[in-house]
Amino acid sequence: MANAMIGQLGGQPILILPEGAMRSTGKDAQRNNIAAARAVADAVRTTLGPKGMDKMLVDSIGDIVITNDGVTILEEMDIEHPAAKMMVEIAKTQNEEVGDGTTTAVIIAGELLKKAEDLLEQEIHPTVITRGFRLAKDETLKILEQIGKPVSIDDTESLKKIAMTSMYGKSAEKASAHLATVVVDAIKMVAEKNNGKIQVDSDNVKREKKHGGSSEDTALVRGIVVDKEVVHPAMPKTVKEAKIALLDVALEVKETETDAEIRITSPDQMQAFIEQEQKMLKDMVEKVVKSGANVLLCQKGIDDVAQHYLAKKGILSCRRVKKSDMEALAKATGGRIISNLDDLSTEDLGYAKVVEERKVAGESMTFVEECKDPKAVTILVRGSTEHVVDEINRSIEDAVGAVASALEEGKIVAGAGSPEAEVSNRLRKFAEKFSGREQLAIKAFADAVEVVPRSLAENGGLDPIDTLVELRAAHEKGNVTYGVDLTNGKISDAFTAGVIEPLKVKTQAIMSAGEAAEMILRIDDVITAGRLEKGPSMPSGMDHEE
Ligand code: ADP
Ligand code: MG
């Protein structure tokens, strides 16, 4: 398959690609791409839904990630095949746009390609397939819009259900009711109304992880949590009406960096030298005091002597605060990060009602609460071990994304495979309007979206065929919200069962899956440059498919 690109000139073959370059064309290229993309979809399919399994990913240095999250799995996998990489892109886009539904998007794309492969076998041209797919995709978006129901910010119950649906089946499930409350409260605090539209900047919901304790201890903090202790024991542990200096400069005397030696010949000189240093540090602290600050959060170090002076002045101080925290603090407290002490003035100080050091799982953290900007909130993510905290953190991220997009879009749908079943049903009817090959392509699209209820059933140990038959019958009768009920192994109304998702998860998944499938199908020529350092070797991923 991988012959170099050869042209003909008067019977004489001429090489137009450099040595080592690979080329595969026509059906070979298509098959190869489809196989690679499907392999990616297969890798995540078993994680779909509340009964989906987790994956354990071990990287080259032995670090472990245990997750059920589609985008995380794909990001951690070291994928090289270009078509497979396009599938990973779908997951990333989905994650950025909605923050949930990554597995769904990827497996729909995989299934679309599988169906397309069947059509290609029947000698249907790729452009006919992609045209049919595009018609089907546009129709699907319309159908989804129609079955979407409005949701308001006051509908706390529905919002909690959305959060819980996105967390089902993750390590977070045990505490999902509690976590859902935390997530919904957080979003309500940061949501803004703009000409009747709700806007949620998920970045305003900061997450700070701390292992030890249980996921039930996860809590919402109205402000910013800094994972640092108050630097000196004599400093206050609580400051009310905090005026906060944010410094990006060390309160230290720089060590002489040149080779210049300082010769000290007498104890007096030694004493003078120390006093000189102490005076410099005292002057620095004086500048902080003069600004009127009673809290100092410093991105760099604070010398012991400076700590001593700060403590004497009753200034609560933390050192080596993370840069990202400093930025969040500046935004939340309305303060300005100062990198030259001489510039520090009263106007640069941030405000918070309370700054307090508290013990969390035996370690001290500093809470900056009730800031100038009430939209600054932090979810303090807890769980027994680091791996658990990481997975709960990812679940919370999904839930925040889900609730936020439900509010921004203002529409929700029932989940559990019900929208996909409804889409499939209506698309089959829509297909009747077209003739011949296009109709086949639209029907293939209709079959492909059923991969969602089918996988939910399969992963839940139900018979996928029986389930799909029942589901089709229910939707034919007009039960739009019927989906796979994994608690009793039947099909039921997903809305009543509390399985609710934002409409955007579904529309975005269809859009990116459709586009990716189309893009992959349109490729009939893959030209891979030779590896620079390795010379003419097979590009990896190109040599072992099928
Ligand atoms: P994704 O990465 O696509 O969000 P998930 O593993 O989170 O993948 O699974 C999402 C799917 O699981 C959605 O189709 C959703 O409706 C379904 N689902 C979630 N909770 C339930 C439930 N309790 N019963 C049935 N289906 C559920
Ligand atoms: Mg999900």
CA of 70 to the centre of ligand 2 (A): 8
Residues 236 and 502: their CA atoms lie apart, in Å, by 46
Share of the chain above pLDDT 70, in %: 86
> Higher confidence at residue 4 or residue 284?
284
The ligand that comes nearest to the alpha carbon of residue 73 is: 1
Tell me which of 72, 103, 165, 467 is the catalytic residue: 103
Tell me which of 303, 325, 390, 398 is the catalytic residue: 398
Residue 69 annotated as catalytic:
yes
Does residue 228 share a domain with residue 369?
A: yes
Does residue 145 share a domain with residue 107?
A: yes
> Higher confidence at residue 488 or residue 229?
229
Domain C-terminal end among 221, 248, 276: 221
CA of 50 to the centre of ligand 2 (A): 9
Name which residue sits closest to atom 11 of ligand 1, judged by CA.
49
Q: How many domains does the chain have?
A: 3
Q: What is the pLDDT of residues 476-509, one digit of tens each?
A: 999 999 999 988 889 999 999 999 999 999 999 9
Does residue 341 share a domain with residue 323?
A: yes
Name which residue sits closest to atom 24 of ligand 1, judged by CA.
416
Q: Which two tokens stand for residue 40?
A: 């990616």
Say if residue 536's pLDDT is above 60.
no
139 pocket-lining for ligand 1 (C-beta < 6 Å): no
Does residue 308 share a domain with residue 438?
A: no
Residues 197 and 209: their CA atoms lie apart, in Å, by 32
Where residue 294 sits, what CATH number does that domain have? 3.50.7.10
Q: Which two tokens stand for residue 366?
A: 């500093």
Do 54 and 47 contact (CB within 8 A), yes or no? yes
Does residue 463 share a domain with residue 445?
A: yes
Q: Which two tokens stand for residue 466?
A: 């029986």
Q: Which two tokens stand for residue 17?
A: 């690609």
pLDDT at 530: 65
pLDDT at 169: 66
pLDDT at 540: 47
> What is the rounded average pLDDT of the residues 379-388?
90
Highest mean pLDDT (candidates 83-87, 205-209, 264-268):
205-209
Cα torsion 437, 439, 440, 446: sign: positive
Question: What is 442-463 written as a DSSP string?
Answer: HHHHHHHHTHHHHHHHHHTT--
Residues 120 and 103: their CA atoms lie apart, in Å, by 26
Residue 155 annotated as catalytic:
no
Least confident of 425-434, 449-458, 513-522, 526-535: 526-535
Where residue 452 sits, what CATH number does that domain have? 1.10.560.10
Tell me which of 69, 303, 390, 485 is the catalytic residue: 69
Ramachandran sector of residue 275 (left: φ over 0; alpha: ψ -120 to 50; beta: rest): alpha
Domain C-terminal end among 188, 221, 254: 221
Residues 160 and 178: their CA atoms lie apart, in Å, by 10
Does residue 134 share a domain with residue 156?
A: no
Does residue 319 share a domain with residue 270?
A: yes
Tell me what the pLDDT averaged over the chain comes to: 86
Does residue 293 share a domain with residue 235?
A: yes
CA of 455 to the centre of ligand 2 (A): 14
Least confident of 169-178, 238-247, 257-266, 495-504: 257-266
With helix as H, strand as E and coil as C, how does 21-45 read?
CEEEEHHHHHHHHHHHHHHHHHHHH
Quick check: is 349 in a domain? yes
CA of 500 to the centre of ligand 1 (A): 9
Q: Is the pTM of this model over 0.75?
A: yes
Does residue 351 share a domain with residue 259?
A: yes
Q: Which domain holds residue 212?
A: 152-221
Residue 265 annotated as catalytic:
no
Which residues line ion ligand 2, judged by CB < 5 Å? 100, 166
Least confident of 14-18, 40-44, 180-184, 323-327: 14-18
Quick check: is 240 in a domain? yes
Q: Which of 515, 435, 471 shows the shortest CA–CA distance to 94?
A: 515
48 pocket-lining for ligand 1 (C-beta < 6 Å): yes
165 pocket-lining for ligand 1 (C-beta < 6 Å): yes
> What is the rounded average pLDDT of the residues 221-237?
93
Residue 342 annotated as catalytic:
no
Ligand 1 atom closest to 68 (CA): 6
Does residue 109 share a domain with residue 84?
A: yes
Quick check: is 13 in a domain? no
Domain C-terminal end among 221, 238, 273: 221
CA of 44 to the centre of ligand 1 (A): 13
